[in-house]
Amino acid sequence: MAKSPDSSNTTPAPSDEPKRGLFSRKPKAAKVKKPSRLKQIGEVFQMTRRHDPMVPWLMLLVFLGVVAVSFLVGFWLENWVTGLIIGIPLGLLGATLILSRRAERAAFAQIENQPGASGAALGTLKRGWITEEQPVAVNPRTQDAVFRAIGRPGVVLVSEGPTHRVKPLIEAERKKLARILPNVPVHVIQSGRGEGQVPLSEVAKKMGKLNKELTKIEVSAVSKRIASLGNRLPIPKGIDPYKARPDRKAARGR
């Protein structure tokens, strides 16, 4: 008669984990290595090249031009070696700047005509601006929207959508701001490719050229005033397309 297997005699299956001593520490989980800067620049270059095939030639032209000028200056000063030593890093810097600007345009080209693109443009503003991720006014049917930024020029409303459709949203928001902030200037920038509109990649630049009329303390006071009154429309349910943001580090080649 066959004996039934005894559970007390069964040996546990060997574990794949290495044995640790009584006082040894538990091994730390392996850290995920971030891609190197050169790899990031390579990815940015490939992304930009797909949208702008002229980028490699422009970068090469700038690099050779800077090196040539440095060489000629060094040769004129009878020290062309120093000219090359200085010119090569400057040429690489110039080529990197070209890549950075073209990469930013390519990043905006990828999100252009998408809901929330104007909000993404506000995300590239320099310090001194107070922006919101969500629009302050939105048409749930057409997805036209108005975004808001507060800075030293005052309050800036950036619209998204055709001029004739988005105009009622802009006017309604301006009236609200006029009631609670009668002495604060309100500027309107309509983003897009239509007549009288500003291309997406130029929105931040245009805002930077506005005249500064408020102090930093006044900017903070205006922001708190708007926040305290809850001057933001709720987003209708089922519509949340306004989280697109361009990679600023990638646009700068980092």
Secondary structure (3-state) at 138: strand
How many Cβ atoms are within 10 Å of 248's Cβ, its own excluded? 12
Enumerate the domain spans of the chain: 37-111, 117-232
pLDDT of residue 104: 78
**pLDDT of residue 231 exceeding 60:** no
CA distance 7 to 15: 19
In whole angstroms, what is the distance from residue 122 CA to residue 149 CA?
A: 7
State how beta strands 130-131 and 137-138 pair. unpaired
Task: Quote the pLDDT of residue 29.
Answer: 53
Cβ(169)–Cβ(118) below 8 Å:
no
pLDDT tens-digit series, residues 86-99: 999 999 999 889 88
Assessment of whether the complete model's pTM goes beyond 0.75: no
In angstroms, the CA 216 to CA 134 distance is: 23
Mean pLDDT on 196-203: 83
pLDDT exceeding 90 applies to what percent of the chain?
16
Per-residue burial over 43-70, b = 16 or more CB atoms within 10 Å of its CB, e = otherwise: ebbebbbeebeebeeebeebbeebbeeb
What are the CA-CA distances from residue 205 to residues 183, 198, 202, 209, 212 (Å)?
25, 10, 5, 7, 14
Tokens of 107: 């990043």
Express each pLDDT in 36-70 by its tens digit.
777 777 777 787 788 778 888 999 999 999 999 99
Q: What percent of the chain has pLDDT over 70?
A: 76
Q: Which two tokens stand for residue 215?
A: 């102090």
The rounded mean pLDDT for the chain is: 77
**Rounded Cα distance, 176 and 225, in Å:** 12
Asked if 180 and 214 touch (Cβ cutoff 8 Å), the reply is no
Distances (CA, A) of 158 to 30, 45, 232: 45, 30, 14
Least confident of 109-118, 123-132, 142-151: 109-118
For residues 48 and 108, give the distance between their C-alpha atoms in angstroms, rounded to a whole number. Answer: 11
